[in-house]
Amino acid sequence: MASQLPRLRRSALPFAGSILGAVALTTSTVYADEPAKKSIYDAPPALVTPPNSEPTHPTPTDRLAVHIGAARRFINTHYRLACNKLDDAFSEYLSYEHSVTRTVAGLAPPKESSEKVLPGAIYVAVATMAGAIVTRRRVLPIRVITPLLVGVGSAWYFIPQTARNVGDLMWEWERKVPGVAETHAGVRSGIENAWKASVETSEETRRKFDETVSCVRKSAEDLVKRG
């Protein structure tokens, strides 16, 4: 029994050596897998490279972008100006249209009046044409003035309210030109004075004629009585 003990010890040595080697490998592997401990000192700051102080030249792409931006601003500015001008022109057209509409509507006689524009205007046109036909073989001034006078006179006869409205409108237009307004006022005053003078002359002539006829009649009666 004592002789077998050294044999058991010699056979157990290799087995124990293998176990210790395995434990050592395991321990080293575990320590290798563990993360390294963080150092208590701060890491040194990273070196910052200073920017390049040399001037950079614009690339062709940059120059093209600048030209495109300038062109777009130019187009947008002129587009807005064109839109504003179109809006102003359209507003002016609407204002002019409303003015014309109000002017034409103002020439018509009032609704309570019995005057009719359509037949009266036809009568005035026929009278004017008749005056032109009658004076077609006369001298030029008579051929021009006679139809005008006939047309104006027929307008004041057939459509007096419309003729008065047209005359007032023409007078408003003539007042914008002082020279024309003064000439018109002078001609109108001359015509009115001539008309008044002719009326007074005709009345005076009629009165004298009546007096002459009365005297002749009285003389004739006296002669008859004396028979």
- Residue 124's CB is within 10 A of a number of other CB atoms, namely 22
Any idea what DSSP says for residue 139? Answer: -
Burial class (CB in 10 A: 0-12, 13-18, 19+), 51: exposed
Phi, psi angles (nearest 5°) of residue 73: -65, -40
Q: Report the chain's terminal Cα–Cα distance, integer Å.
A: 225
What is the rounded CA–CA span in Å between residue 90 and residue 73?
A: 26
Q: How far does Cα 182 stand from its chain's mean position?
A: 36
What is the per-residue pLDDT for 93? 93
Q: What is the pLDDT along the chain (227 residues), one digit of tens a residue?
A: 444 444 544 554 455 555 555 544 444 444 444 445 555 555 555 555 555 555 567 788 888 998 999 999 999 999 999 999 999 999 999 999 998 888 888 888 888 888 888 888 899 999 999 988 988 888 888 888 888 888 888 888 888 888 888 888 887 887 777 776 677 677 777 776 776 777 777 777 878 777 887 887 777 777 777 75
- Asked if 20 and 27 touch (Cβ cutoff 8 Å), the reply is no
What is the per-residue pLDDT for 25? 47
- Asked if 167 and 188 touch (Cβ cutoff 8 Å), the reply is no
Residue 226 in tokens: 């004396």
pTM higher than the cut 0.75: no
Q: What is the 3-state secondary structure (H, E, C) of 6-29?
A: HHHHHHHHHHHHHHHHHHHHHHHH
What is the rounded CA–CA span in Å between residue 115 and residue 165?
A: 13
Residue 79 in tokens: 């587009």
Element (H, E) at 107: helix 60-107
What is the rounded CA–CA span in Å between residue 152 and residue 146?
A: 10
